[in-house]
Amino acid sequence: MVNKKKQHKQEQFYKQAKKEGYRARSAYKLIDIQNRFNIFKRSFYILDLGCAPGSWLQVAKKYTEDNLTKYEDQFYHRDHYKIMGIDVNKVSPIENIYIIQKDLTLPEVQEQIESYFQNKLDLILSDASIKKIGNKFTDHIKQLNLCYDILRIVKKNLKYKGNVVIKAFQGSDFEKLAIEMKKIFRFLKSYKPASSKKKSNEIFLIGLHKK
C-alpha cells in the first residue's frame, strides 16, 4: 500500500499538478481534451457536474477568463463569466465560482441551474465517477446510469451549439450511450487523455455543437 502511494506521488502528472497549483492530476485530462477539441472556444457560462476536488473548475476558470479578452469581437461575446460546480462532496471555495454541495439529480439542483444560467450554458463538463466496487460490468452499468442522469441535465440546460464532456467507462453498453449522444450533438468524439491511468477503463465522450 505504501509503495503504491509513493509511486502515485512520484508520477509525472501528480508532480506537475502540485507544481502548477492544481488540486488534482485530473486537471490535465481537461487540458488535453481542450488542446484536442477546443471545447472552451467562446465558452463563458460553464457547469461542472461532479466537480470535487475542483481541479476542473480551476482549468475552466483559466480558459474562461482568457476568453473575456480573446473573443472581444462582433460575434458571441460576454463581459463576464459564470461557472458553477456541483458535487455531493464538499469542495473548497474558488474565487468567483459558485459551488453547490448536493446530489446533481435533485429537482432543486435543476432549479438552481436554470436560475443561475438562464438557458445560456455554453459548456457542461463532468469527470464524475461512481464509487467502484471492483466488478467491471457492474461499475460500467452504474457509471452509464450516471451518464444518463447527466445527459438529462444537458438536454434541459445546454444551449444550441453548446459542448459537453462526460466521463464513461468502456464496456458492453457504451455504444448505446454514444448512439444516444449522437442524437443530441452534430459531432461526437470518444477520447482517452494521456493523463488517464493506463489500467483505467475510463473514456470521455465529447459532444460538440448541440443540435
CA distance linking residue 91 with residue 176, whole number of Å: 32
Residue 182 bears catalytic tag: no
Contact 181, 148 (CB under 8 A): no
Q: Which of 29, 61, 82, 167 is catalytic?
A: 167
CA count, 13 A, side-chain hemisphere, 89: 12
Q: Which of 129, 206, 112 is nearest to 169 (CA)?
A: 129
Ordered DSSP codes for 151-203: HHHHHHHEEEEEEEEEEEE-STTHHHHHHHHHTTEEEEEEE--TTS-TT--EE
Supply 107's cell numbers.
429537482
Q: Which three cell numbers stand for residue 61?
A: 476558470
The residues that are catalytic are 167
